[in-house]
Structure 1
Amino acid sequence: MTAGALARRGFGDAARAVRLLADCGLAPERHAAVVGELGAAPDPDQALLGLARLLECCAEPDELLDALCSDPDLSARLVKVLGASSALTDHLVRHPGDWRELRGADAARAPDPDALRAGMLHIVGADPNADAPAAAEKVDDPAGPAHALRVAYHRRVLRLAGRDLTGAADLETVGAELADLAAAVLDAALAIARADDPEQAALCRMAVIGMGKCGGRELNYVSDVDVVFVAEPVDGVEDDQAAMRAAARLAAETMRIPSETGPEGTLWQVDAALRPEGKNGPLVRPLAGHVSYYRRWAKTWEFQALLKARPIAGDAALGAAYAEAIEPMVWQAAGRDNFVDDVQSMRRRVVAHIPPAESEREIKLSRGGLRDIEFSVQLLQLVHGRSDPALRSGNTLAALDSLSARGYVGRDDAGGLADAYRFLRRVEHLLQLNRLRRTHLLPDPDSADGAEQLRRLGRAMGYGANPVTEFMSAWRRVAAEVRRLHEKLFYRPLLHAVARLPEGEQRLTLEQAGERLSALGFADPSGALRHLEALTSGVSRRAAIQRTLLPVMLGWFSDAPDPDAGLLGFRKVSEALGGTPWYLRLLRDDVRVAERMAWVLGTSRYVTELLLRAPEAVAVLADDADLVQRPTHALEAEADAALRRHGTAENAVAAVRALRRRELLRTALADLLGVSPVAAVGDALTAITAVTIEAALRTARARVADQRGEEPQTRLCVVGMGRFGGRELTYASDADVVFVHEPLPGADPVAATETADAIVRELRRLLEMPAHDPPLLLDADLRPEGRSGAMVRTLDSYAAYYRRWSSTWESQALLRAAPVAGDAEVGERFTAIIDPMRYPEGGVEDAQVLEIRKLKARMEAERLPRGADPAMHTKLGRGGLSDVEWVAQLLQLRHAHDVPGLRTTGTLEALRVAVEHGLLDAEDGATLEAAWCLAARVRGAIMLVRGKPSDSIPKPLRDQAILAGALGYRDDDEEEGAVGRMVQDYRQATRRARAVMERVFYDD
């Protein structure tokens, strides 16, 4: 046969193939069928090379050649194995006589599980009929029973692969036989362990519980075999602890034998991490210990894992007792308080564990992969299996059949998902067969070796003309179908329960729909059903689009911290926008907008309230560029246009307040979606507040001038104080201000002050008047003499007051004073007056420092709300905002006269300058900055989540969970969870900051 003919048959290196055929003694005229089989192998070159190696090692190569010619079934099985698995080829080279395992009637049929167990026990010299089989000291294999067991295992895998690759065994058969084979190996390994330490074995009886794919009888060729060990003392043994220690030794040895690397390689790893308490828990527990743990401590994901639990080896009676005790608890898991959080965290952990570089080639964990199918089926089982025992199967395909037969999944959908599952599992099997290594990653098509592996995979899957392209196209189609069916199976039937939809599609009863909504995290399923009915009922185009959107959006709502609030907010926004055509088109055509909308509505009452005031603002979610803080000059220009556009003062300022509301929403959205850091939030809120006050001040001045018939004979400036002056405003902050004016030359000072006071009263009225948009409250309590003092003072009055009467606390307050609106020249002159007060030459005196420290201590003792936890109060609590700010302000009072960089109103900038000039240790500065930023974030998030201000982290766990979600914490940590890590991070940061504060603030 020529090289060209072999190339046409699929050989990549046809010239070498010609030589190898000759070396093997394969003549085309005599062995045409064998050559044909080689050409049809997944990798013809690998198959031919493997056959040449095997013939070279065979004692009777002619016998093998004759058998290949006379037995087409043998030829097909052997060549397919050689062309698909280099690992099994290596086994055949080590054990040339094992080609006979692929010959005859036994090679064509699946073995009985009991026969597999008996065979493996016989291999190690154990009696299958004994209550506790123990291996013999000597077996036929001189290398010992463990080596004999590994060889026997690979023989069985060889036989199974022959049937699998030729289509004589379907996926269900392959998975079941591999699971049964693993169980038989574990029984034989346990027999070896008993023989190695008979005294320990005599103390206990032990059962091995299969978990995961082994428990579900759907094991891969190479997969970790998940197990749990349960043991009891044998009758007559009274020392329970000694029995448990003995069982632990037996279990460890049982795990070691299949996992150990030797001449035959490693079979697979035995993983006991699914046991109670995971890797931190004891390897073996008595039955009562298991039951106690699952009743008191287990999380939902552990019951989800137990869904597949099945006794597979060891003491059968003890295994049955374990199953009987544990199974009822599994099917009550969906009713647990933490069911939703655990299920959602499980989903997030799966996605989080995919390396970004591999996400597009991962067939198990990626979107549209095996985990999507398994998660969908298991979640439906847990939700509906409580009341329907027919769904309680540990096998994915069997459970899917039951879900379909019982009406929870449509037949076509179940069939589509089952086909996708079989496709993906077959791909997984073929990937693992090549080298008998655990993998779920497709080869990289951009590399030469990866392309060759994909070619072999595609040919093994049955794609001929262009195997790489055809296989990759098929895989992408399957992944897309899995994603579609995942959404449809779990979410769309909820709409079927409440809306009039096409006949022939699966429907749920209202009770079943409620159960499913509970599983998604909705605390009020009946309310959620009412919202769905309102959104999707009817035959309008809007209802039709909502029915398309909601199956996807329900999943996003369930990922939000408060799904109920999210769905309610979505209903209100949708109703407010009515038939606006662009709204639903935007959600339908831009998946990012819909996903973001579900998240923010399910996270923030503050955002929901703002959005309901102007639902059209939802359009800003389409582009991150629309969420970025707008330049101040652009805001000023828009405010000017609003003032010119409206005739009355009330309407003009209402338009400016609408501008403010829109910018508040933009800032809050950017904050929630992680587009803006804390400092940018404060800057944005300060900027829009200043622009709003400036526009309102101009309107108030014009209004007073119109009322009095003359231009005011004074110039007025609004000075920001506190967080406003420091450009650190939060969503909950009032605007702390003082008002200063300067009469025009020749004007009557008394009349000018009356006019300024009238302007201020009108300014506050316009900003606080009832309107559609949130008011802007101006707080002037930091003015001289506080609430008892005049609302407005002249520059001379301020100068006289500060020169004669001001206190140390007022100097401290003035550190954050900055002109924000009104006459700029008056603002500059006011700044010149207060600079000597806040940046005193030589720094503050010791007596003043003592006064500041006493004031700080008194504030902590008196102003902290009754019942508030000092460790959880973001403003006045230990290590909170106040602690950090007072440290920065004391450094400014002491050193700002000599260090001009400290003459800033911003807390973080003051800390950074202090570090630069050696006034504060760099590590201390970083600690204070981290605590301040975290406390500011938490304080802002509390307002976003609750829609009303609070300085304390809420105590109810549900509120804390929503807050943690808003801050970006996810339940992907099994031990702590999002709330635990949020609280831990906050306590840790503030505890460190408090230590720095006490050392720096009180250090002389």
Structure 2
Amino acid sequence: MTGALNQQLEQQQRERWTTFCKAVENADLTLSPDTDAARALAGAFGFSEFVSSSCIRYPQMAIDLIDSQDLTCPYGKGQMVRRVTPLLQAAVEAAPDGSPEQLLVPMKAALRTFRRREMVRIAVRDLSGISRLDETTGDLSTLAAAAIDGALEVLYARMCEQNGIPQSTDGRRQHLVVLGMGKLGAGELNFSSDVDLIFAFPSGGESRGGPRPMANAEFFTRLCRLLIQAIGETTADGFVFRVDTRLRPYGDGGPLVMPFDHMEDYYQSQGREWERYALIKADVIAGDRQAGRDLLLRLRPFVFRRYLDFGVFESLREMKRKITAEVRRKKLHGNIKLGSGGIREVEFFGQMFQLIRGGVLPTLQQPAIQTVLDVLAGEGFVPPEVCHELIAAYRFLRNTENRIQEANDQQTHALPTAPLARLALARAMNFSTWEDFRQALDHHRSRVRTHFDGLLATEAEQETGKAADSAAIAGLTDAWTASLSTAERRRILKEAGFSDSDTAATLLEHFKAEPGTRALSGAGRRRMDRLLPRVLEAAALCDDPETVLERVLHLLKQIQQRISYLSLLLEYPTALTHLIRLVGASPWIAAFLSRHPVLLDELLDPRSLYAPPKAESLRAGLARQLAAVPDDDPEYQMEVLRIFRQINTLRVAASDITNVLPLMKVSDHLTWIAETILEAVVDTCWTHLVAKHGRPTCTLDGKPCEKGFAVIGYGKLGGLELGYGSDLDLVFLHAADSGATVGGRQPIDNTHFFARLGQRVVHMLSAHTAAGKLYETDMRLRPNGSSGLLVSHVNGFDSYQMENAWTWEHQALIRARPITGDAALLDAFTAIRRKVLCLRREPGPLITAVRDMRERMRKSRLSAKPDRFDIKEDTGAMIDIEFIVQYLVLQHASDHPQLVRWTDNVRLLQSLSETGIVDSVTAHRLRQTYLIYRAAVHRLNLGERSTLVDGRRFQHMRTFVQRFWQQTMKTS
């Protein structure tokens, strides 16, 4: 059977080619059949009646395609426009006067001639394998855009001649904006597709300067109707593209074209989820490109919410249910676009993630589905193998779609039923038989169907195939929703596991009476009514269920008006499990999540939640995120930085309280986060100022510097001992020459440039935004403290440290290290630090200065209480150890320069031991004591408790430190 069909298919191809050759001969044209282009055209005749009939009817077109090499060579940028422009110009010359309607007749003929040639070219290149899928869909999209834009320009010019130029009320010229939706907007148009268009114009007003002025709305409505006729109307020559405008605001019942303000108001007040879904693929394809980009920016907040939009789950589920129901109702199983496992399901898979996460992850804000799937795999939201399978299936299905439509230039997605047509499709897809092709198609569709079916199923449904509440949940639902007596509510809670059911019942009743809870919308109430019983069930299993419940209810109080967060906890029970675990372990984490609920998304993936990235990964991740943010959007940059810090801090804290990370590693990770952010902040501020003011000239030791700016970290940042709430102690240095910046729009003095740079860095770090703040910064350790310059010249810093600095400033310098900036300047600081710390000092005055400073600090900070011990500030406590270390380094560094290599206390103690200044046993005990103190303070901070503890705790360590202090500082 297959052999006979093969012969029939080959015979059909030969007959079509013979007829074409006769048409060429009759037209007195010359055909070179042995060229690559001619062979490609001949091969396409076997698969496409559209190609063969077009070439037979228009042999001159076919010969031109062969001789021009357009069949074998890809088009360069702008080639489609260059093809259509002279045809449209000839149409204008054919109707030089008269109304736009009179111009339509030659325009339609020109556009259809253009379309015919280019569609034959695209089909031949695709069928012969010369072009791949992305080039084919790109060419089709470019063809549509060139035709629409070319026709629009001609019609707009003719209307302006007749009616004047449309202008805004303030006199600015107005032009139409044409948004391409769906596959056209994404640059993924299929062969015989219609084009979904939305029309808009910037603002109201009227046309001026013509014999018959009209209001802008009337002008552009008429222009749009003319454009639709030019492109979409069927004539004896066919059509260019069928035009569909039903995706516009209000659909068929709405105006054909709208001003920007009205369109924005519509989407913000009445826009529905399916319209968000549709606008994901929107792009400007014709008209005023810049105005169109401005419009899309205005609509972006509607499409991509600036938070993780888990509240869209129900709408997406409804859309998915409609897709599945349509397949059953219309019996679309043979439809490769709409059927089960078809193209639409692949697109829905990617666009679902775009709706939920696109506002937080800018790299998802793009229309091309294959790119979106790559991003999802790269970011870890979807397993890479799933994305690879979906992309492979998508490419196979889209190639099949094009080959089906190229056969007769018909908008169909149904697999052929006739045996010969089936074999032609299989051969066009490079399969020998229909059975081989169908097997590969079914394989791809089966994979798509599996991944599509798994979308939006709750974890419970994925595990059991159904979502059935337990009997315990049913009882706890009554405890939350039913009108029960307090006694009955206590009974249910006690049976569930709350030992102090009185407290639990009171917490529940108070939460129910909260104004925010009472004000929940209908949808919010339904989500809360489902979530609260699950919270109660999970809390009851904890060691201290009432405390956990109190913390979770406090969190819910903060987030309940953002019902998308309630949806997240409902859709992902694992997220709720990790939430209960973390807030039960640490009130600090509970408060942190309450302040930054966007972090709830991090609870979804324990692989990342309990595995904080190291320094290199942090830098790469932040760079990738910032690269997707426009340079002229500092507010968004600050938001990205803040969320980056919050996410990674949560990962460290989660790893900390679950003992995945020891204390020293916790500080390392928190320090890496701060260093990464500082580097990005400095680079961002530098780029902004250089663009405005030009580059400052800087010299160090007679050699030019690259940037001439450096950030020095002091205190806990410098000592690699950052905690969760630590400030950043910073000093800024520069190496500016005298003179002004070079190359900017507004040159300024070099020193002034660095002052502004320092101010912007501090502002970016400490400004409070909707996403919180990055860090509190403390700049008081700079030369002359708060009264000194914010950014010091490196030479002035050197002089100050050598001649004017107090002893306590040299103590601080021990814990200072370069963080980011110009490499030469960082090296210069390191040299200055080494020189200053290695100065020879008299023991007596040094001891007195260190001891006096310690006492002043103790008096200002210590809240002494009988029988209590402050782990940080008391005698024999943590800061005493730090002061001992600082004294010993300052006293002995002149003879032992290796002491100044490190900035953290643990390695400084090790260096003091290695140099013999402190014996190894004492150094070991001091080091262990210091680490134990630090760990205790760290745990107390996580528990949001005071560092004052029972005076009997740490008594042996405290006595040891006091004795060593007295011995070292020679006090009585």
- TM-score computed with the length of structure 2 as normaliser: 0.44
- TM-score computed with the length of structure 1 as normaliser: 0.43
